[in-house]
Structures are given as C-alpha cells and as structure tokens.
Chains A and B, each alone.
Chain A
Amino acid sequence: DQQVKQNSPSLSVQEGRISILNCDYTNSMFDYFLWYKKYPAEGPTFLISISSIKDKNEDGRFTVFLNKSAKHLSLHIVPSQPGDSAVYFCAAITYGGSQGNLIFGKGTKLSVKP
C-alpha cells in the first residue's frame, strides 16, 4: 500500500515557465511534508517542507501548497531554470514520529528545456 504517491513519473517544462509537481497521500496522520531534489550520481538534497498547520510555504522560486482535505500537496517552481532538471521526491512523516517513519514517493523527473 503506497502511502505517498507521485503519479507523474516525468514532467517537461520550458525554461521560464512554471513547473508544478504533485504528490498525493493516503495517511491522514501525516502532518509534515518535505520535498527533496536529486541529481544523477548524487544523494537527495532537502528543498522545502511544510507543516500541516499551514497551507503554503515559500522559499525563493519554490512554493509548496498543501490541501489537507484533498490529501494533496504540490511544489511550484517559478520561473523554471535548466538547473532545476532533476528528480523530485515528496516525503511525509507523522508529527512527533521518529524519522524512521519518513515515507517517500517514487519521484518525478523534471526536465526544463532551454
């Protein structure tokens, strides 16, 4: 049973446009969500996170939106740059839970074309 779902394996966007990466979850006990970015031959890098008590968190070009009623979150990248081309993982955890309980989605490969 997949608790964190990234249903789009890949996404292609033109440079300068908006990239929207989506993530759905099934466990209503999740209340902290994180996005990681991964380049080939490197480890994942933390990008941005959001607590369930918020519906939006912004950091520069990156914004994460959370819709708890729909159990859906999205990562917006504006404007997209070629250097953003990577695999993006959504992850979730229950509040106060051990980080041994961090659950990852399968990832979405973003390609930003010049």
Chain B
Amino acid sequence: DAGITQSPRHKVTETGTPVTLRCHQTENHRYMYWYRQDPGHGLRLIHYSYGVKDTDKGEVSDGYSVSRSKTEDFLLTLESATSSQTSVYFCAISVSLTGASNQPQHFGDGTRLSIL
C-alpha cells in the first residue's frame, strides 16, 4: 500500500464549472502524477510534479492545471469543465528519489468524473 488517497472518488458536474481533484500521499514521495484513462486510449499523462511547486506538462495537459503547495498533496483543476474531460482520473507516485525509469509508479484507486 503506497498510501495514496484520491478524493472525491466520484463526481458529476456540469459543463463550464470548475472542478478540483485531490491526491494525497502519506509517505513524502517526491514525484506525483495525474493520468486520465479513457476507453481505447489506455492511460495518458496530464501533468506531473517533481517537488513542491515544481510541475510539468504531460501528453494531454490542455484544459488542466495543477498545484503542489505541500509534498503530500497534488491537486488537479479543470478550470471550466467540458464533456470531453469526462474520464477516470488516476493519481500516481514514484518511490524513486530521482523519478528514475527503473522504479515503478504506484497508483491511487481513481476518481470517476462525469461532466454533463
């Protein structure tokens, strides 16, 4: 158990509203990630963080922003949600100190977000 908690687990909201998803970890790992999973696409990286206030874009970052003001929390924000952002969102952490490629990522249980 990598001590990752995602909240909320489910959310339904309307187009145009802001949405914030939270990822909380209990083990002070440096690297944290946000992915989305959609049918026919596998997992795609949205943003990741390599330290407090240090973040970078992933493959599908448009329409999303992130913040990391504390080591343990990584927030994903949809400023104005669209129906195309309906998805399952996964947070992950890396146990590596450097984000090195040979250390697997550990995932939370996901947030199912529906935008109507």
Listed in ascending order, the chain A residues whose CB lies under 8 Å from chain B are 4, 6, 31-32, 34, 36, 41-46, 49, 51, 89, 93-100, 102, 104-107
Contacts and interface: CB of A to CB of B under 8 A. Distances in A.
Interface string B58-92: 10000000000000000000000000000000101
Contacts of A97: 101
Interface of B: 4, 31, 33, 40-45, 48, 50, 56, 58, 90, 92, 94, 96, 99-110
Nearest to B50: A98
B102 A51 contact: yes
A31 B102 CA distance: 10
A42 B110 contact: yes
Contact of B43 (A41, A46, A49, A104): A104
Contacts of B41: 106
Nearest to B92: A43
A98 B110 CA distance: 23
Nearest to B94: A99
A59 to B, nearest CB: 12
Contact of B105 (A32, A41, A46): A46
Nearest to B103: A99
Contacts of B102: 32, 49, 51
A102 B106 CA distance: 13
A93 to B, nearest CB: 4
A34 B44 CA distance: 15
B33 A100 contact: yes
A51 to B, nearest CB: 7
